[in-house]
Structures are given as C-alpha cells and as structure tokens.
Structure 1
Amino acid sequence: MSATTVEPRLITVGHSPDPDDAFMFYALAKDKLDTGNLRFRHELQDIETLNRRALKGELEVSAVSIHAYAHLLDQYALLPTGCSMGDNYGPMVVANDKYDLEHLKKTTIAVPGTMTTAFLSLKLLLGEFDYEVVPFDQILQAVEDRKFDAGLIIHEGQLTFQNQGLHLIVDLGVWWQQKTGLPLPLGGNVVRKDLGDATIREVSRLIRASIQYSLDHRQPALEYALNYARDMDVSLADKFVGMYVNNWTLDYGERGRAAVRKLLEEAHKAGIIPAPVAVEFVD
C-alpha cells in the first residue's frame, strides 16, 4: 500500500505592498524556508482594505492596524512577531502652510482610513475633527494640490513629504512618546483562532523565521523590497525598512505589549473604542 499523501494546508497572508512588509515576508514569498505542510499565498493590499477584510474574517493571517485589532478579538489573536512600532516617530500630519493644532481642528484633513492607528492617534490628540478618507498613496499629492489643507501620512511619505514642499505639523509618534513614555504600536500581524493551536504556533514560528532571515540577509531582502518602494532610492528604502522591521518586529517584548495595551486603553477612555480590549498575544 502506498503512503497517504497529506494535502498541504493553504495559509493566505495579507500584507501591504510596501517595502517594510515586503522585506518582512521575503523569505516566505521567495521559498527560502521549509514550511513543511503549510503553503503561504500572499495577497497585497493597502492596510485599510486589510483591516476591513479582517473584520469579515477573510484571511488566515493578516497585517492589521492595532486600532482595527480592537474590533477583531472574537476571530483573531495578535502574533508576537510582525509589529510595526513607531519608536519616537510615526504617522505625521503635513500641510502646505505651518498651521498650529487649533487650525487643524477647523479644517478637513485627508486621512488614510478610519481603522488605521494613525487615525486613532490623531483623534486622541485632536478629539473630533473633519476628515475625508483618501488612499494613503494619494494624500501627499492631494495636499500639495491644495485639495486639503492638511493630510495624515503613513508609510514612506514620512520620509518624502518635504520633497513636495510640505511642512510637518505634528509627528504622532513623537507626541505619543512624550505623552506616555511608550512607543506607538502602529500595526501587527494577526492569526485567525480557528486554525487551531498547533497551526497557529507553526505560523508564528515561520513568520518570525522570515523576519530573521531578512535581517540576516539584508541585501537580497532589500532588493526584493525595492520592488514596492515608491519614489525611493536604495538608501531611503533601507532607512524606511529599518524604521519598521527591527527588534520590535521580532517580538513586541514587555514594553511593546504594554504600549499596545496603553493605546487601546486610552482609546476606550476617549470613547473611540466602545469596549475595553483584553489584548491576546499568541504564546
């Protein structure tokens, strides 16, 4: 009798088409790791789309905003790896003119999505304000064209906004660190609980291995990531990847876990998140 062939289990992974996520998942995307009985399929979409898909439970594994995670507790747990942490830097509000914060409360701000941590942290700073959702990679141009007085920018726009003659109004990562003494946890990877404990642990191990592989093989991983770097040369892409794929990404650690809890606690106190969040990390 022939041995029974076990069909590989397909794990669909959602992440952003950005250099930091591409760098993180390089080893899995390019078959650099032995994944055993698991097969990974990558779907690249902007973070707000991934947030919305996770609300529907569509993906086994996904990058999500920490803000969105607060609404995913019934279906997903946070993996200990894959964190994008703003360590005294983060999403920024930029404008054509040097406005103060009071002016921001009186204007319409272009934002990349209401489930993003950038939006959450801006609400914590300003309270209520007028906004319009604009695809994240169109916000800088929309502000430069004066369709909006100000824009909330994420991803590599944080390093390139000055090229368009725009002014920094506030760096939310700096503001949060001054307010709490903690880094700003922007995004993380979540895993669907119905995969079962054994598969969840293996997925967690492999994603950590993929991150470590890229850190250990930085040059080829960076060359791959450059395929997703908009208007960035090698040195700028390397700087951006270093901001968001580092030791925080390998594991939140106690301080990173405290930062997640603090952010969601403050959001609940402010009435932005309706219920307290019992943060659940995969062991």
Structure 2
Amino acid sequence: MAIKEEKMVIHVAHSPDSDDAFMFYAINQNKIDTKGYRFIDVLSDIETLNQKALKGVYEVSAISIHAFPYVADKYALLSSGASMGDNYGPMIVARESFDVSELKNKKIAVPGKLTSAFLALELFLETSDFDYEVIDFDEIIPAVKEGKVDAGLIIHEGQLTYQDEGLVCIVDLGKWWYEKTGGLPLPLGGNVIRKDLGEEVMKEVSEILRESIKYSLEHRDEAVEYALKYARGMTKEKADRFIGMYVNELTVDYGERGRKAIELFLKEAYEKGFIDTLPEIKFV
C-alpha cells in the first residue's frame, strides 16, 4: 500500500498579541482539521515581521498593509486575518492636550516606519518631514510619560490602556480615516502567504486559517481565555473588548469595504509619494 505523503510545515509568524493569539487558537490547540499541514507559531513584533517578509522568510506572516507593496513580489494577501480599525485605530497620545496643528513641531515616538500606523500618520500630516523616533511599540507609552518624546503613536492594546497611564489622545487616526473616506475602515494588518507555495497550497492554507478565525468567534469564551496570556496585563473584559476591535467579520473576510479600503489607502500613499510602488492586490 502506498504511504500517503505528509504535507509541509507552515510557519505562521505573527505578533505576540491577544488578537493574533485568538485568531490562531483553533490551529494551535488542534480544534480544527489542519488537512495534514503542521503549523508552527513564530512570535515577533510587527516591524520585525515586516522586515522578515521583505526577505520572504516565513510561509505565512502577519504584516502591516503599509509593507505589502514591498513584499508583493513574494507574497499574496490572504482574504482572512485582517486587522481593520473601523472608526478607531492607532492614536497619537501625549501627557497634555494640544492642537493637532502643533504635531508637525513635536517629537513623536513611532512603532516602525513600515507600520500602517506610520503611513496613516504621514497621510494625516500630509508630509514625511516631521520629527520622529522609532521605539518598540510597548515602550512608547513609557517614553511619553517620562518626557523622552512629546507624543507617541500607539498601536495594539495601548489604545485601551493609555488613559490608565494618565495620557490624553490628540488624534485617533482610525476615526480620522473613517470620516475622511465616508465610512471605510483603516487597513492596519493583514496575513500574507508566499506565492512560491503554489496555488493549491495557498488556497488550502487560506481555508484553514479562515476556519481557525471562525472557530474562535464561535467559541469566544475559551478562545479569549487562551489569548489572555498574550494580553499584557489586561483584564479579561478589556482583552475581550480589544479582540473584538480587531477580530470580527472583516477578519473572516475583507469583503467589499475592506478591499476598497486597502486600495484607497495604498493609492493615496502612492500618489503622495509615501510609497514607491502601487502593487496589484491579489487575495487568496
């Protein structure tokens, strides 16, 4: 009898955050059929994942939508796994309130030049010519509190905890984008898959990842409980709220709104000279 050939190992690189842990819970805990593939988690901050994707290191990776034009030769966007800020998103926070017109004259801590948050800030300020310092995302709030910078561009759970640290929001870039575009979500992160795996593998892996997200949404309490280990001290209630912001129907599939949002986000960035190329956007 012929021995059935085992399918390949798929490294899935993502941020060590509660929303990503929630997404991949069903795969990591063997709650769904992985069709013979063996999935291995690789955890790293999003800016590091963007840099790794430039080299095509992992078969599947979370990346910033801002980074996609630079990796589109190697990767296709998976139709599930998006992080969209639907009338909320990355924020500029500071110790004291000031008018947004003063932002261009402030030193701003940012979580990485390839993050979508940084691109959204460039679009908001309509320039790349401002004073910023790249700092690890989880060090931005302390840097603002300690006065090392005038303001900070925060992502991840900091969007729910900055007030606990005595900071104020100067602008919510997700809200700004929503109002500017007549109701589109701000595209922040997506999952990509290497094109050299071939169409069949890409489609099978895409379906497995989608089923994992759907499983977590349908078994929310147990998936949130699992994700708490990545919630960096948030209460279960706050972690559940954060997960709900970034794992929802847009995460299961971009849909027309999500696809339109990505196209507009990158088109505006290209037209204003903030990205060098405008790729063909292929979803798997």
Same fold (TM over 0.5): yes
Stretches of structure 1 lacking an aligned partner (at least 5 in a row): none
Q: Which amino acid in structure 1 is aligned with residue 178 of structure 2?
A: Q
Distance in 1, Cα, partners of 2:97 & 2:197: 50
How many residue pairs get matched?
281
Give, in angstroms, the shift of residue 5 of structure 1.
4.2
Q: Which amino acid in structure 2 is aligned with residue 137 of structure 1?
A: D
Distance in 1, Cα, partners of 2:236 & 2:259: 32
Q: Which amino acid in structure 1 is aligned with residue 221 of structure 2?
A: Q
Question: Which residue number in structure 2 is paired with residue 40 of structure 1?
Answer: 39
Give, in angstroms, the shift of residue 143 of structure 1.
0.4
Distance in 2, Cα, partners of 1:242 & 1:4: 44
Per the normalisation by structure 2, the TM-score is 0.97
Question: Which residue number in structure 2 is paired with residue 105 of structure 1?
Answer: 104
User: Which aligned pairs between 1:6-45 and structure 2 lie closer than 5 A?
Assistant: 6-45=5-44
**Secondary structure of the equivalent of 2:87?**
coil
Q: Which amino acid in structure 1 is aligned with residue 45 of structure 2?
A: D
- Per-residue CA shift, 1:245-269, capped at 9, x if unaligned? 0000000001110000000000001
Stretches of structure 2 lacking an aligned partner (at least 5 in a row): none
Question: Which residue number in structure 2 is paired with residue 169 of structure 1?
Answer: 170
Question: Which residue number in structure 2 is paired with residue 158 of structure 1?
Answer: 159
Question: Which residue number in structure 1 is paired with residue 228 of structure 2?
Answer: 226
Distance in 1, Cα, partners of 2:190 & 2:213: 13
Per the normalisation by structure 1, the TM-score is 0.98
Q: Could you tell me the percent identity over the aligned residues?
A: 59
- Per-residue CA shift, 1:176-216, capped at 9, x if unaligned? 11111211011110000000111000000000000000011
**Secondary structure of the equivalent of 2:119?**
helix
Structure 2 residue aligned with 1:206, among 205, 208, 225?
A: 208
Distance in 2, Cα, partners of 1:275 & 1:208: 29
8 Å contact from structure 1 (residues 97, 167) kept in 2: yes
- Per-residue CA shift, 1:125-158, capped at 9, x if unaligned? 1112111110001100110011111000000000
**Secondary structure of the equivalent of 1:70?**
helix
**Secondary structure of the equivalent of 1:105?**
helix
Q: CA RMSD in A?
A: 0.9
Give, in angstroms, the shift of residue 101 of structure 1.
2.0
Asked whether 1:275 is paired with 2:274, we answer no
**Secondary structure of the equivalent of 2:105?**
coil
Distance in 2, Cα, partners of 1:39 & 1:213: 18
For structure 1, which segment, 189-198 or 28-37, has the greater mean C-alpha deviation from structure 2 after superposition?
28-37
For structure 1, which segment, 136-145 or 100-109, has the greater mean C-alpha deviation from structure 2 after superposition?
100-109
